[in-house]
């Protein structure tokens, strides 16, 4: 199924492919002459294994390449798992059987250069470029919780390329144990699974994240309590970031984050209550790319190569816009 709305990508030269490898789905966008010509989201099969998922990815990439009518110049991949320089999966808590497997294998038949980037880091890049913000924090809430940081017009990638792991800031030392092994990470408190569990306790019934979204839309009291819980936890993490990197903007996205429309305003109120008096606070708003920020970042990586991941000023003349 192709996308139902055109997306332009200034600066794209030749056909490229953007791929977002997430915790619950695979998203692809083929871009030719600066515009999206194909888009598809493929859910991971329930109970699938790494071998079958790799074959599904290979077939999905081949279909997207076919929509371009020829081999793409480059493929940009926003990856949820931690991947080493050779494309081998180092860790993927949602899919542990991928560890040690090559994430490059499904792209081998594409004929293109394949570049990988952290999914949330690339999402932060896309949000900064689309908003024109030189100082921005991106927070993605879905299967996990990821983050991307842009400071002074530069993408912060850190020594190992994945700086901005906001999901692993500890917000409650006595809180639930995260899949990373630490107790009280933001991810363990506000991921889709964690918020569904909180909503179930508040409601007194088993509750899915989709039911939570519907409850928030209907202003159900139990859903409102869960939204308050999420906003308070996120504001606690942002309180630290305000002191460390002083962002002008915070953008909240990801599959669940984008669906919880009142969340950014609620976070802004909680942050104002927690902040040090007299300190300027960032604007907190929804991600401009909604749940597709990582895919938009992958498109920038595909169009412009690794120059977008370096330490250069993203807004200088000649950089992507």
Chain-centroid distance of CA 221 in Å reads 29
Average pLDDT over residues 26-50: 92
- With cut-offs at 50, 70 and 90, classify the pLDDT of residue 3: very low
Average pLDDT over residues 90-106: 88
What does the pLDDT read at residue 286? 98
DSSP line for 21-32: E-SSEEEEEEEE
Average pLDDT over residues 257-274: 97
- With cut-offs at 50, 70 and 90, classify the pLDDT of residue 82: confident
What does the pLDDT read at residue 4? 37
Residue 321 clears pLDDT 60, i.e. is over it: no
β-strand partners of 17 = 30, 75
Please provide residue 52's backbone torsions phi and psi, each rounded to the nearest 5 degrees: -65, -35
CB 258 within 8 A of CB 225: no
Percent of the chain topping pLDDT 70: 94
Residue 177 is given by DSSP the state B
Name the residue with higher pLDDT: 84 or 302.
302
Name the residue with higher pLDDT: 84 or 154.
154
For the whole model, what pTM was predicted? 0.91
CB 115 within 8 A of CB 306: yes
Half-sphere exposure of 311 (CA within 13 A, CB side): 3
DSSP line for 241-296: HHHHH--SEEEEESHHHHH-TTHHHHHHHHHHHHSPTT----EEEE-TTGGGHHHH
What does the pLDDT read at residue 257? 97
Name the residue with higher pLDDT: 95 or 187.
187
Half-sphere exposure of 284 (CA within 13 A, CB side): 25
Average pLDDT over residues 68-97: 88
What does the pLDDT read at residue 47? 84
The pLDDT mean for the chain works out to: 90
Rg (CA), the chain: 19
What does the pLDDT read at residue 2? 36
Name the residue with higher pLDDT: 74 or 3.
74
Selection from 78, 56, 140, 72 nearest residue 110 by Cα: 72
Both tokens of residue 67?
A: 């929509």
SS (H, E, C) 31-66: EECCEEEEEEEEECCCCCCHHHHHHHHHHHHHHHHH
Starting at the earlier edge strand, list the strands of the sheet with 249-253. Answer: 154-155, 145-151, 136-141, 249-253, 283-286
Name the residue with higher pLDDT: 160 or 54.
54
- 268-318 pLDDT, tens digit each: 999 999 999 988 999 999 999 999 999 999 999 999 998 888 777 888 755
What does the pLDDT read at residue 320? 60
Average pLDDT over residues 119-143: 95
- 180-236 pLDDT, tens digit each: 889 999 999 999 999 999 999 999 999 999 999 999 999 999 999 999 999 999 999
Torsion angle, alpha carbons of 262, 156, 120, 239, to 10: -30
What does the pLDDT read at residue 208? 97
Question: Residues 21, 61, 103, CA angle at the centre, nearest 5°?
Answer: 50
Residue 136 is given by DSSP the state E
Please give the domain boundaries of the chain with CATH numbers for all domains.
16-121+292-309 (3.30.420.40), 132-289 (3.30.420.40)
CB 33 within 8 A of CB 11: no
Number of H helices, E strands in the chain: 9, 12
What does the pLDDT read at residue 207? 98
- With cut-offs at 50, 70 and 90, classify the pLDDT of residue 167: very high
């Amino acid at each position: 199924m192709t996308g139902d709305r055109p997306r332009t990508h200034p600066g794209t030269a030749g056909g490229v492919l953007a791929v977002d490898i997430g915790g619950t789905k695979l998203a692809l966008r083929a871009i030719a002459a600066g515009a999206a010509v194909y888009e598809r989201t493929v859910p991971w099969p329930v109970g699938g294994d790494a071998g079958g998922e790799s074959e599904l990815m290979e077939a999905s990439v081949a279909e997207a390449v076919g929509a371009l009518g020829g081999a793409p110049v480059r493929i940009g991949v926003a990856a949820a798992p931690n991947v080493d320089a050779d494309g081998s999966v180092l860790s993927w808590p949602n899919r542990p059987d991928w560890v040690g497997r090559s994430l490059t294998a499904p792209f081998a038949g594409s004929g293109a250069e394949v570049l990988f980037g952290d999914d949330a880091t690339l999402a932060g890049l896309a949000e900064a470029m689309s908003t024109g913000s030189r100082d921005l924090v991106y927070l993605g809430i879905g299967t996990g919780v990821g983050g991307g940081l842009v400071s002074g017009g530069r993408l912060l990638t850190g020594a190992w390329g994945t700086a901005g792991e906001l999901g692993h800031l500890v917000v409650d030392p006595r809180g639930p144990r995260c899949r990373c092994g630490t107790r009280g990470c933001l991810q363990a408190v506000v991921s889709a699974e964690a918020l569904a569990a909180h909503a179930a306790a508040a409601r007194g019934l088993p509750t899915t994240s989709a039911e939570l979204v519907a409850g928030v839309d209907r202003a159900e009291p139990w859903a409102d309590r869960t939204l308050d819980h999420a906003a308070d936890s996120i504001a606690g993490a942002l309180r630290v970031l305000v002191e460390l990197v002083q962002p002008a903007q915070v953008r909240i996205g990801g599959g669940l984050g984008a669906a919880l429309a009142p969340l950014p305003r609620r976070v802004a109120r909680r942050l104002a209550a927690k902040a040090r008096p007299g300190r300027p606070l960032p604007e907190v708003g929804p991600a401009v790319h909604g749940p597709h920020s990582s895919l938009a970042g992958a498109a920038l990586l595909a169009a412009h190569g690794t120059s977008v991941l370096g330490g250069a000023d993203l807004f200088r003349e000649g950089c992507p816009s």
